[in-house]
Structure 1
Amino acid sequence: MNKARLEAFSDGVLAIIITIMVLEIKVPHGAEWSDLLKQYPVFFSYILSFMYVGIYWCNHHHLLHTVKRVTSGIMWANMHLLFWLSLVPFVTGWMGENHFAPHTVTAYALVMILCGSAFSVLQIAIKKANPNEGRLGLALAKLRTKAYISVVGYLIAIALAFVNTFFSGVILLLVAVIWFIPSKAVEQALEEEQQG
């Protein structure tokens, strides 16, 4: 399979995921600002999930720069990642509609853990098929610290969900923020790869 085809398919699936999420936001039945404010949990869950899907898209884009040869292992690892990401609209809607109830926050955090695990599996499949991935591959490997912090953050969010869901939401947002800040090593490796 051509790498471009893998990228195009993944981009299409991620675009559909974002579209489904926004379609889940229901229009308020009233025309007052107060009617709109009642929707704040839905908007917050949408913004949070949009950030996460955007982060996965950016990191997936960077990761695919390391691919010189696409194998069936890479294709299935990519499908595995897309499967878990495709559940994001469901847990987003469930969490937002139920005002961050403990079980909905738990389900959301579990899906995020599974997305992160699937991304790691994809990284391993790519590294196995493309052992000489260069500086970009090394830069991406350094992101493991963020991955470990993320898992700890998700587990804390799950534990806090049964104490105070507000704090769970804050933890989920903080995990997204640490990924939102771009890695300088990845950016420099991409620039060097394009120049060389």
Structure 2
Amino acid sequence: MLAIIITIMVLELRAPEGHDLSDLVHTTGVGLLTYLLSFVYVGLYWANHHHTFHLVRRVSGGVLWANLALLFCLSLVPFTTAWVSESRFEQTPVVIYGVNLLGAAVAYVVLQWVIIRQEGPESPLHQAVGIDLKGKISLGFDVAGILSALTIDRSGHVGVWIAMACFVAIVIMWVVPDRRIDRVFRQYETAD
């Protein structure tokens, strides 16, 4: 499903009418930037989701519903990305984009919580995630971005650019590989 989401996003990009680099920048420049940001976001969820489910022993109905909530939020990313791009970073589309990213982050935290609750405090996922400082910081950046776009320089774009910087900071933070799940997975793999 996440590969389809990424494919839908790239289909939103328009080809330039001319053949120069300036034509690309003028026609597709903003779209390429927002696509790149959203591509990395979805890609990070894809990788973390894959690693998370390597540590899950049993998938219950609760896990399926929590996973479906995450997929719902991620399925909206092509829409919100296109809106931000087409509006050229207007306030409302950026706020909705931030709400979409926050929704996905909350859904992912809920998914982890449901898995940990189902498998107990000694579960491999709980050992890997721990207090999840990175996850909490990400949620904070999402909220800060949304609030910045809503409250700072409402008639201009300062708050919007601060919001986008918050969203980029999250990507930068998560692009650095998170070894927690890999480390726990290797421990359980060698124990079997």
TM range (shorter): 0.7 to 0.9
Aligned match of 2:16: 28
C-alpha displacement at 1:142, in angstroms? 3.5
- Cα deviation code 1:68-89 (max 9, x no counterpart): 1111111111111101110000
Larger relative contact order (Cα-Cα within 8 Å, sequence gap ≥ 6)? 1
Runs of 5+ consecutive residues of structure 1 not aligned to the other structure: 1-12
Secondary structure in structure 2 of the residue aligned to 1:142: coil
Contact 1:66 1:137 (8 Å CA) reproduced: no
C-alpha displacement at 1:156, in angstroms? 2.1
Q: Say whether 1:74 aligns with 2:74.
A: no
How many residue pairs end up in the alignment?
Answer: 183
Contact 1:66 1:130 (8 Å CA) reproduced: no
C-alpha displacement at 1:126, in angstroms? 1.1
CA distance in 2, matches of 1:77, 1:88: 18
Aligned counterpart in structure 2 of residue 117 of structure 1, from 106, 123, 137: 106
Aligned match of 1:194: 189
Aligned match of 1:176: 171
Contact 1:67 1:133 (8 Å CA) reproduced: no
Aligned match of 2:77: 88
Aligned counterpart in structure 1 of residue 116 of structure 2, from 124, 127, 134: 127
Superposition CA RMSD, Å: 1.7
CA distance in 1, matches of 2:181, 2:113: 17
> If the length of structure 1 is used for normalisation, what is the TM-score?
0.86
Aligned counterpart in structure 2 of residue 148 of structure 1, from 130, 136, 152: 136
CA distance in 2, matches of 1:140, 1:59: 11
Aligned match of 1:9: none
CA distance in 2, matches of 1:132, 1:167: 38
CA, structure 1 residues 96+63, in 2 after alignment: closer, same or farther (shift >3 Å)?
same
C-alpha displacement at 1:62, in angstroms? 1.6
Query: Aligned residues: percent identity?
Result: 37
C-alpha displacement at 1:157, in angstroms? 1.6
CA distance in 2, matches of 1:73, 1:134: 16
> If the length of structure 2 is used for normalisation, what is the TM-score?
0.88
Contact 1:95 1:101 (8 Å CA) reproduced: yes
CA, structure 1 residues 72+136, in 2 after alignment: closer, same or farther (shift >3 Å)?
closer
- Cα deviation code 1:79-137 (max 9, x no counterpart): 11101110000001111111111111101110111101111111122112222654443
